Homo-oligomer: A and B are copies of this chain.
Amino acid sequence: MDKDSGLTIKAARREERSASAEALLNATAQLLSEATTIDVSLNEISQRASVNSAMIKYYFGNKEGLLLAVLERDAETAMTALKALSEMDIPAQKKLKIHINGIINAYYRSPYINRLIHYMVESGSPAASKRVAQIFIEPMIEVYRDIVAQGVREGVLKDVDPGLLYYCLVGAADHIFHAGYSVPSTLGVAKLDDGIKQKYAEMVCDIYLRGLAP
């Protein structure tokens, strides 16, 4: 075997490895989206991913590591978009509207996000809790601070505490998905769909944009 083909094999193996890790992350996210709890077994995950379950230990250490990696991937996508939004040269109210639609869409697509955050925080290690705060909460508070400050300068937003606004807004955006079990009692339908999600996003935007005006 010459040096070049050795390198090619190594590169191919690296790609295969990262494809397996990716498949495990995708399978976990899929199974979590389908379930109403985070009780998804490593067996189910490896079967769905068509990847040997020993690979979970190899890539992620254990189930906590795998779940944290799923959250990190979701956080990276969400926070990259949020940071870009924050830096855009558009009015603060427009930013807030795009952000509200963005988080409602994210929770609709991945209803497990807040469930998983709570699980990591309540049952995971203190290190996992800290990591969750670092990847999800701290970047959001920073952006909320910037958007509120911009809105105050533009005369379109009240000078509210960004931390309190975080709870108020994230709670409103998330609860319909987090408490999805109750949809038959509240809305008289079997499950949420695009139409309801859209109507909900419009209502939340309307309440918050007008409710936060000075």
Q: A209 — nearest CB in chain B belongs to which residue?
A: B211
Q: Is the CB of A133 within 8 A of B182?
A: yes
- The smallest C-beta distance from A201 to any residue of chain B, in angstroms, reads 10
Residue A160 at the chain B interface, CB threshold 8 Å: yes
A168 to B175, CA, bound (A): 7
A208 to B182, CA, bound (A): 22
Determine which of B137, B187, B206 lies in contact with A186 in the assembled complex, contact meaning CB atoms within 8 Å. B137
- The smallest C-beta distance from A199 to any residue of chain B, in angstroms, reads 7
Q: Which residues of B contact A173 (CB under 8 A)?
A: 171
Which residues A117-146 have CB closer than 8 A to chain B?
Answer: 117-118, 121-123, 129, 133, 137-138, 141
Q: A183 — nearest CB in chain B belongs to which residue?
A: B163
A111 to B141, CA, bound (A): 23
A199 to B170, CA, bound (A): 17
Q: Is the CB of A164 within 8 A of B203?
A: yes
Known: A174-B175, A175-B170. A186 touches B212 (CB 8 A): no
Q: A133 — nearest CB in chain B belongs to which residue?
A: B185
Residue A213 at the chain B interface, CB threshold 8 Å: yes
A153 to B184, CA, bound (A): 27
Interface residues of A, CB < 8 Å — how many?
A: 51
Residue A207 at the chain B interface, CB threshold 8 Å: yes
Q: Is the CB of B167 within 8 A of A137?
A: no
Q: A203 — nearest CB in chain B belongs to which residue?
A: B164
Residue A16 at the chain B interface, CB threshold 8 Å: no
Q: Is the CB of B164 within 8 A of A168?
A: no
Determine which of B137, B164, B176, B185 lies in contact with A200 in the assembled complex, contact meaning CB atoms within 8 Å. B164
Known: A36-B122, A141-B186, A211-B210. A172 touches B168 (CB 8 A): yes
Q: Is the CB of A176 within 8 A of B171?
A: yes
Determine which of B179, B187, B207 lies in contact with A208 in the assembled complex, contact meaning CB atoms within 8 Å. B207
- The 3 A-B pairs at the shortest CB distance, nearest first, are namely A171-B175, A211-B211, A207-B211
Known pairs A174-B175, A207-B207, A208-B211. 4 more at Cβ < 8 A? A141-B186, A160-B203, A166-B186, A210-B210
